[in-house]
Every structure is written in C-alpha cells, then in structure tokens.
C-alpha cells in the first residue's frame, strides 16, 4: 500500500515520464524535478514501487541525449534532486541505534 508521500512521489514521477515521452515541455520538466528535489529531504520509507520509478526516471534521463533536456535549468534541477536525496540518505549512515533516538534534533 502506498503512503501519502510515496503517492506524491509516484505522481510526480509519472508526470515526468509522460512529459519525456509525449510533451517534451522543459518548463514542466524543470518544475517537476524541482518539486521532487524539495521533497527529497522528507522522503523516507518510500514504497518499493516509488523507489523503482525514481531509479527508472534517473536511468531514462541519463540515457536520453535529446536537445530539449540539455538546458542548464533541467540539468541543475536534476543535480539538485540527486544531491538532496544523497544528503537525505547519507545523514544517518554510520549512526547506531543507541546514538540516535527518534526525536533527537
């Protein structure tokens, strides 16, 4: 079952996939990736479906060499999204459960 966060991520990823396949609108794509980048720090416990869709989008973007995707705005939005997700996943790496308790800030 998808939680609300996973559902929103899947919705944005489906929008990005549809835009790549049919519309090719740079403005829509930039805003979709920006929304994903803004959600990245809060993305935890994503469903496997949402995670797989995210990986497949990054795979598709890395394989594409279309001129409409070579703009600096789209590349910077994608780089920001990847950087925030990397920061989000690497924040608690190396911490054992006895050194971090939920609610500690």
Q: What does each C-alpha distance from 59 to 55, 62, 94, 96 come to in angstroms?
A: 6, 5, 28, 32
The predicted-structure confidence for 3-58, as pLDDT tens digits, reads as follows 888 899 999 999 999 998 899 899 998 999 999 989 888 888 888 888 889 888 88
H-helix or E-strand containing 87? helix 72-90
Ranked by mean pLDDT, which of 24-28, 66-70, 72-76 comes out on top? 24-28
Query: Which among 84, 71, 75 is positioned nearest to 39, based on CA atoms?
Result: 84
- Find where tokens 């919705």 sit: 11
The domain locations on the chain are 30-40+69-88
The pTM (predicted TM-score) of the whole model is 0.61
d(CA 59, CA 2) in angstroms, rounded, equals: 23
């Amino acid at each position: 079952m998808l939680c609300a966060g996973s559902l929103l991520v899947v919705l944005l990823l489906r929008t990005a996939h549809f835009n790549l396949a049919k519309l090719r609108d740079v403005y829509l794509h930039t805003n979709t990736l920006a929304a994903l980048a803004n959600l990245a720090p809060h993305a935890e416990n994503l469903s496997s479906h949402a995670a797989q869709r995210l990986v497949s989008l990054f795979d598709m973007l890395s394989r594409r060499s279309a001129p409409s995707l070579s703009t600096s705005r789209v590349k910077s939005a994608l780089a920001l999204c990847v950087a925030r997700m990397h920061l989000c996943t690497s924040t608690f790496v190396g911490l054992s459960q006895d050194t971090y308790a939920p609610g500690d800030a």
